[in-house]
Amino acid sequence: MNKPSKYKKSTSAVSSDRIPPDNLVQEDISQEENPATATITVTAVEVQELSQEEESDRLHLERKVERAFFEAGKALTELRDRRLYRSTHKTFEKYCKERFGYSRRQPYFLMEAAVIFQNLEQKCDRNDHILPTNEWQIRPLTKLDSDIQPEAWQQAVKSANGKVPSHRIVKDVVQRIMERTKVPNTYQLGEVCQILAKDNLELRGKGGSWCIVSHVGEFSCTVVAWDGEYTVRIDHLKPLNYLDSECQQMQLISERISKLRDSRKLEAPAEAVLKCLGELKRPYLTEFEERLLSFIELECRINNY
């Protein structure tokens, strides 16, 4: 039978009669010593510098990250322009939604961002390697002309202390530039203008079309063209300087075209005729054009009287 121990195990965290072993005396901090003044030894770790080859690899990989959305925008542009979706989908928008899960406007945002990225890459200071890393960062730059975009981006990089600026920083810079270069909107309701597509991907194919101003904003106008309604910046419009009577004639033609478009009864040849009428360079219809438009209205059972 085991004999009971003569010593009781202490359960107290601190015991007044507990004497630490000799080999621990030097490591213990006495109660009188202020812990705030205790010295903590930290071993320094040497940071190894990158070799020239590693530095080159890092820059190359960073460029790939930066260009990811740019490459996507370029690819989408080619898919649309070559209509490589036509074997499976009727429209580019439906193809992008079902193939990539994009909303209707997302592919256009990416395509427009690719144009801006290429502009920044070509025109920004080559010693400044800070470029956008996603489409959202540079979306505010779409409000500026292409020759002002690099200046705005570099100002945003400076505001971000040399780092990639956020959407908010870029937006603030763009707002300041727009206020500095503010041009009054002189367009009027009912005025006939010409659409200038420029670098706006959503207006591609509509350059040169005439339109009627239906709403006047601070920096943009809502216009009615032959194929629908659009909100465009004033620098994407050109006044045609028609007389008031000529504007009224074009307004009537616009209303007739809109009724046909909204009827949902148009076949491809009829749409081609409306497109031609929507690109007229004069404020009237010829006798043949009038007969052609009237025939389409008759076929679609559109009554204008």
Question: Is the pLDDT reported for residue 26 higher than 80?
Answer: no
Single pTM value for the model: 0.53
pLDDT at position 128 is 63
**Burial (Cβ within 10 Å: 0-12, 13-18, ≥19) of residue 170:** buried
Model confidence band, residue 118 (pLDDT cutoffs 50, 70, 90): very high
Model confidence band, residue 117 (pLDDT cutoffs 50, 70, 90): very high
Question: Is the pLDDT reported for residue 227 higher than 60?
Answer: yes
pLDDT at position 303 is 63
Question: Is the pLDDT reported for residue 15 higher than 60?
Answer: no
Model confidence band, residue 24 (pLDDT cutoffs 50, 70, 90): very low
| Model confidence pLDDT, tens digit, residues 250-293 | 999 999 999 998 888 888 899 999 999 999 999 999 999 999 99
Q: Which residues contact 87 (CB under 8 A, 6 or more apart)?
A: none
Whole-angstrom Cα distance, residue 11 to residue 21?
18
Average pLDDT, rounded, for the chain: 83
Does residue 216 sit in helix, strand or coil? strand
Select from 179, 208, 212 the least CA-distant residue to 194: 208
Q: Which is more confidently placed, 197 or 117?
A: 117
Q: Which is more confidently placed, 207 or 33?
A: 207
| Model confidence pLDDT, tens digit, residues 42-86 | 666 666 788 888 888 888 787 777 778 999 999 999 999 999 999
Report the amino acid identity of residue 253.
Answer: I
Whole-angstrom Cα distance, residue 234 to residue 218?
9
Model confidence band, residue 12 (pLDDT cutoffs 50, 70, 90): very low
pLDDT at position 9 is 44
Token pair for 25: 């005396």
Question: Is the pLDDT reported for residue 195 higher than 90?
Answer: yes
Residues facing 233 on adjacent strands: 220
CA 145 to chain centre: 15
Evaluate whether 96 touches 30 at the Cβ level (below 8 Å): no
CA 225 to chain centre: 24
Residue with tokens 């002002």: 148
